[in-house]
Chains A and B, each alone.
Chain A
Amino acid sequence: MAVPKRKMSRSNTRHRRSAWKAIAPSLVTCVNPACGAQHLPHRACGNCGQYGAKSSRRQVL
């Protein structure tokens, strides 16, 4: 069975783990004037459930 030859140093472990980074998603403001929540672009708003531009938004949920 293959086993590690050397102990993984704390430095190497921490160096590797420092590369695990979360990226904040870019959000847009809901066009529904009553809602105005932040949601993912090109997705229905999770708060009010509406989707679409100001002129043609519709309830999807």
Chain B
Amino acid sequence: MPTPKKGARLGGSPAHQRLILANLATDLFRYGRITTTESKARTLRPHAEKLITKAKKAHLGENPLAQRREVLKTIRDKGVVHVLFTEIAPTFAERPGGYTRITKLGPRKGDNAPMAVIEIVTEEYVAKAVTTPAATKADEKPAAAEETPAEESTEETTDEAAAEETPAEESTEAAADESTDEKTEGDKA
């Protein structure tokens, strides 16, 4: 007897679920960050990470053509597959899994569905045992600043400056820094 899969079925039928996950994975690799419901994000995560693992294996020279064909079974857009294999996979060469990150948002207006952002991790991988929290922060922030759009990058750098100050100074100077940030945010919105 076939065992039902773990967790909820998205969309109603197995075919619909396959299509939903394929489309979500395609958009995740195309845009790097997508907003969806929390349950879809949670179901997408292992699905997308397995695709990244295939791309990573191909990057490391393990039967690249077969890996690409396997991924093309799910992602039907060749352009996105190309981006996955040539741009996304090399950035994960060092990282042992955990290629995506889910951040919960509030409930959606309309149906109160819990929403989440699922994104591809862009920070450089730093092994946990050897680094202190301060070092990790210093490594991560510039990487994030490089890959976010121009408006956000200015914000990230000022955030970093604020974070490195001592707590006593932070309350006054960071507030001054952040107030300028808010203006940029306001312009954006």
Contacts and interface: CB of A to CB of B under 8 A. Distances in A.
Given A44-B117, A56-B140, A59-B155, 12 more contacts: A33-B162, A34-B175, A43-B105, A43-B106, A44-B103, A44-B104, A46-B106, A48-B185, A55-B137, A59-B152, A60-B117, A61-B105
**Interface secondary structure of B, over-half rule:** helix
B159 interface: yes
Interface string B143-164: 0100010001001100100110
A32 B163 contact: no
Contact of B174 (A33, A44, A48, A61): A33
14 contacts: A33-B171, A33-B175, A34-B175, A34-B182, A44-B103, A44-B104, A55-B137, A55-B163, A56-B137, A56-B140, A59-B152, A59-B156, A60-B117, A61-B117
B178 interface: yes
Contacts of A59: 148, 152, 155-156
B181 interface: yes
Interface of A: 32-35, 39-40, 42-44, 46, 48, 51, 54-61
Interface of B: 103-106, 117, 119, 133, 137, 140, 144, 148, 152, 155-156, 159, 162-163, 170-171, 174-175, 177-179, 181-182, 185
Which residue, of A34, A40, A55, A60, has the highest number of chain B Cβ atoms within 10 A? A34
